[in-house]
């Protein structure tokens, strides 16, 4: 049972909302960073190659920083670390108002990547400690939904640029992170310190031996493949649909939006599944297999262009339902007192997969085989469906208790 088993529904709702919005701001700043680079590109003389490098630098720093952020969360507490990450991200975007060189943008990328690295270890440590376990699945679904909505908010930077100019856009874009930082610090009573239970728990394994435990390594691999699949589809689906189905760019973009909306919708339903079923690996495996099945007509180009958005909604919805259950699986694989370290290490797989995806999916497009990327997606869905079953078996067979605080 969580530290707040007797907590009220209202308090849990406030925590879900605050952490969900905070996670959304992380995704917003991820997209806003590259968007601001594109906005100032002509004025500052940046090339598209340099923009791509800076974007990769942001994710590389974030990926390497997540494990270190996990240690910081377990050492200093999740609430101040999350507040610091929000502040750093906000300030990093605001610096676009004053920086005009590639070196300056590289420094912003490093600063922003460090700020972005704290969210998964801090968010999940706070949710695990602050939310009644009966509502934890729904909390994870709100967390995932917040991230999806944050990505959707990123393109607003273009509209702000047209209305108030690049400098004011950067300064206005910094405000959400700064305000949320203050709000997180101010919710001391609602955001429970997960280290309270860690202090009471028996001494666990050393951090590095913990990371080498099979369930933890399998979770890391799972998230690498999840991110590679998701990012690969999002980045290359539009030109692939144009080539495979002969649709316009606008229609292809609409199909991609339908896929993202389907995923977000599935997360909400998945939260209820996660709260009502103990075998989370079954929910995740069934959802991933269903997503693969919806993708087969796309990969074989046997679907019509009219049917395409319906198949994509189904694939996105089925995949989205697995998100809260996969987060519960990581929780089950996490020993007491190690939330920050484990979540930081495991979720760094998302950055690794995001870095690798363009290499694989982009090569398929370069070779003129767009359908291949959907066959790759089907394979990744099925491999991950098998992985969650293996993770569950490995977690239940080890001697260390697998109930995170």
d(CA 336, CA 333): 10
Asked whether residue 172 falls in the same domain as residue 258, the answer is no
In the prediction, which pLDDT does 82 show?
A: 96
The set of residues, in sequence order, having a beta carbon less than 8 Å from that of 156 and lying 6+ positions away, is none
The set of residues, in sequence order, having a beta carbon less than 8 Å from that of 234 and lying 6+ positions away, is 256, 260
Asked whether residue 112 falls in the same domain as residue 31, the answer is yes
Range(s) of the domain holding residue 264: 207-397
> Looking at 9-117, which runs of residues are DSSP E strands?
none
CA 289 distance to own-chain centroid: 21
Give pLDDT tens digits along the chain (405 positions).
344 444 588 888 999 999 999 999 998 998 888 889 888 988 888 887 888 788 888 988 998 898 889 889 888 889 999 999 999 999 999 999 999 999 999 999 999 999 999 998 999 889 988 888 888 888 888 988 888 788 777 777 888 888 899 999 999 999 999 999 999 998 888 888 776 555 544 445 566 677 778 888 888 999 999 988 887 887 788 888 989 999 998 898 888 888 988 988 898 888 888 888 778 888 899 999 999 999 999 999 999 999 999 999 999 999 999 988 888 888 777 776 667 788 888 888 888 887 787 778 878 888 888 999 999 999 999 999 999 898 877 766 554 444 444
Q: Is residue 402 part of a domain?
A: no
Asked whether residue 264 falls in the same domain as residue 382, the answer is yes
Question: Which of 140, 166, 193 is the C-terminal boundary of a domain?
Answer: 193
The set of residues, in sequence order, having a beta carbon less than 8 Å from that of 314 and lying 6+ positions away, is 262, 290, 291, 294
Asked whether residue 239 falls in the same domain as residue 171, the answer is no
Asked whether residue 236 falls in the same domain as residue 368, the answer is yes
CB-count exposure of residue 5 (10 Å: 0-12, 13-18, 19+): exposed
Asked whether residue 164 falls in the same domain as residue 114, the answer is yes
Q: Name the residue among 74, 23, 17 with its Cα closest to residue 334.
A: 74
Asked whether residue 223 falls in the same domain as residue 180, the answer is no
CB-count exposure of residue 203 (10 Å: 0-12, 13-18, 19+): exposed
Q: What is the pLDDT of residues 260-297, one digit of tens each?
A: 889 888 988 888 888 887 788 888 999 999 999 999 99
Question: Which of 161, 193, 225 is the C-terminal boundary of a domain?
Answer: 193
CB-count exposure of residue 304 (10 Å: 0-12, 13-18, 19+): exposed
Q: How many domains does the chain have?
A: 2
d(CA 302, CA 159): 39
SS3 405: coil
Q: Tokens 């429970």 sit at which residue?
A: 192
What is the largest distance, in Å, between two alpha-carbon atoms of the chain?
61
Question: Which of 140, 160, 193 is the C-terminal boundary of a domain?
Answer: 193
CB-count exposure of residue 246 (10 Å: 0-12, 13-18, 19+): exposed
Give whole-number Cα distances, 22 to 56, 84, 114, 147, in Å: 23, 12, 15, 9
Asked whether residue 153 falls in the same domain as residue 278, the answer is no
């Amino acid at each position: 049972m969580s530290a707040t088993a007797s907590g009220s529904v209202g308090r849990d709702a406030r925590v879900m909302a605050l952490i969900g919005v905070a996670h959304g701001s992380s995704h917003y700043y991820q997209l806003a960073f590259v968007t601001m680079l594109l906005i100032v590109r002509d004025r500052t003389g940046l090339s598209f190659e340099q923009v791509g490098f800076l974007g990769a630098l942001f994710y590389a720093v974030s990926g390497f920083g997540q494990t270190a952020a996990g240690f910081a969360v377990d050492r200093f507490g999740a609430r101040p670390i999350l507040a610091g990450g929000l502040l750093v991200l906000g300030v990093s975007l605001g610096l676009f108002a004053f920086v005009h060189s590639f070196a300056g943008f590289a420094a912003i990328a490093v600063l922003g990547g460090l700020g972005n690295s704290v969210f998964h270890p801090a968010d999940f440590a706070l949710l695990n400690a602050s939310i009644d376990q009966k509502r934890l699945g729904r909390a994870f679904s709100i967390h995932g939904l917040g991230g999806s909505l944050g990505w959707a908010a990123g393109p607003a930077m273009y509209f702000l640029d047209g209305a108030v100019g690049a400098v004011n856009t950067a300064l206005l874009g910094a405000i959400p992170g700064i305000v949320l930082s203050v709000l997180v610090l101010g919710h001391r009573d609602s955001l429970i310190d997960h280290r309270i239970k860690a202090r009471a728990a028996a001494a666990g394994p050393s951090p590095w031996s913990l990371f080498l435990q099979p369930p933890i390594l399998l979770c890391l691999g799972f998230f690498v493949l999840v991110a590679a699949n998701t990012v690969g589809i999002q980045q290359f689906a539009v030109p692939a649909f144009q080539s495979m189905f002969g649709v316009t760019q606008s229609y292809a973009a609409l199909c991609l939006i339908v896929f993202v909306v389907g995923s977000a919708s599935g997360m909400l339903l998945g939260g209820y599944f996660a709260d009502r079923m103990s075998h989370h690996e079954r929910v995740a495996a069934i959802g991933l297999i269903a997503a693969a099945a919806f993708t087969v007509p796309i990969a074989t180009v046997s679907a019509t262009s009219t049917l395409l958005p319906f198949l994509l909604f189904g694939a996105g919805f089925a995949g989205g339902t697995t998100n809260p259950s996969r987060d519960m699986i990581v929780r089950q694989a996490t020993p007491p007192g190690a939330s920050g370290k484990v979540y930081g290490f495991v979720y760094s797989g998302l950055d690794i997969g995001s870095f690798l995806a363009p290499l694989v999916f982009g090569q398929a497009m370069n070779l003129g085989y767009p359908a291949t990327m959907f066959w790759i997606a089907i394979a990744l869905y099925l491999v991950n469906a098998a992985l969650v079953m293996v993770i569950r078996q490995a977690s239940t067979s080890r001697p260390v208790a697998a109930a995170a605080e």
